[in-house]
Amino acid sequence: MAEFTAKDVMALREQTGAGMMDCKRALVDADGDMTKAAELLRERGIAKAAKRASKIAAEGVVYALVEGNTGVLLEVNCESDFVAKGEKFLSLVNAIAKQIAATKSATLEELLASDLEGRTVETFVQEQVAVIGEKISVRRFKLYESAGLIETYIHMGGTMGVMLNFACEANEVTKELAHNIALHVAFAKPTYMSAADVSEETIAKEKEILKKEVINEGKPEAIAEKIVLGKVKKFYEENCLMDQKFVKDDKVSIAQLIAEANKKSPVTLKEFCFFVRGEGLEKKNEDLSEEVAKQVEAMKK
């Protein structure tokens, strides 16, 4: 029998939205392989969504900073919402964002080892942990340097952040376009810039899964290929920013929106990124009585 735990079943359920028993059966059939189990659920039509809204499972903020031609998108986590809204925590986040902009750090390791007023950033964070009283983790960041326009958007006080890099002049036309696309990215959460950025391997795998799904729905194999082609087109429309329908006007795609702006002022979207706070992290959630019992038991040892 396949080896997996109840935690694996729960994780698969969170990923796919399928029922507990369906997840358990899929894990059995996949010999405990989570990726294969997720594919089986999709093939069986139980988990049809190619992607899902990310579960937010940790506190903290996603923070954006633009200084001159440098933009920073940063996520820093803490344990409680109370601390995340506090001045000391936000001051720490701002200091780290400024450090990234100043040092042009390429990796988290490089950032944490960089000098900040006579000590490393890692030591600075540890000092603040002692002051604030909660575990603080600098999780990830993105740095853009631009000769054009950098646009950022922070949603609901730091639950999500978006950053875009445009090659253009900063004027009314490009600023409005940049703001609209930033809002769109926050809503639509694209995975790729365009269809050209999706690997052949990814599409081949998607087609394989979609074909099995269509056949399992009872469609003849002779027409399955045509149905799959339509579904792949929809995959691009759902996952590729340029192919997505603009959230404020579903009659135009993002590519068309940019093309329209180009008639007034030359503009190109070079890159984009977004962070969802706590995405993929597991939040500690223990009953108070259990925590007290654990502490009492520990004192006995």
What domains lie within the chain, and their CATH numbers? 59-192+269-276 (3.30.479.20)
Residue 108 main-chain phi, psi, to 5 deg:
-65, -40
Over range 265-288, report the average pLDDT.
Answer: 81
Over range 274-281, report the average pLDDT.
Answer: 89
Give the C-alpha distances (Å, rounded to integers) separating 247 from 24, 188, 241, 254: 37, 8, 11, 9
Model-level pTM? 0.74
pLDDT grade, residue 21 (50/70/90)?
A: confident
pLDDT grade, residue 184 (50/70/90)?
A: very high
Confidence (pLDDT) at 236: 96
Give the C-alpha distances (Å, rounded to integers) separating 207 from 29, 86, 87, 172, 195: 21, 48, 50, 42, 15
Confidence (pLDDT) at 231: 92
pLDDT at 264 over 90: yes
Any residues with CB less than 8 A from the CB of 137 and at least 6 apart, and which?
Answer: 60, 76, 77, 78
At residue 18, the 3 state secondary structure works out as coil
Confidence (pLDDT) at 54: 36
Burial class (CB in 10 A: 0-12, 13-18, 19+), 281: middle
Residue 3 per-residue DSSP state: -
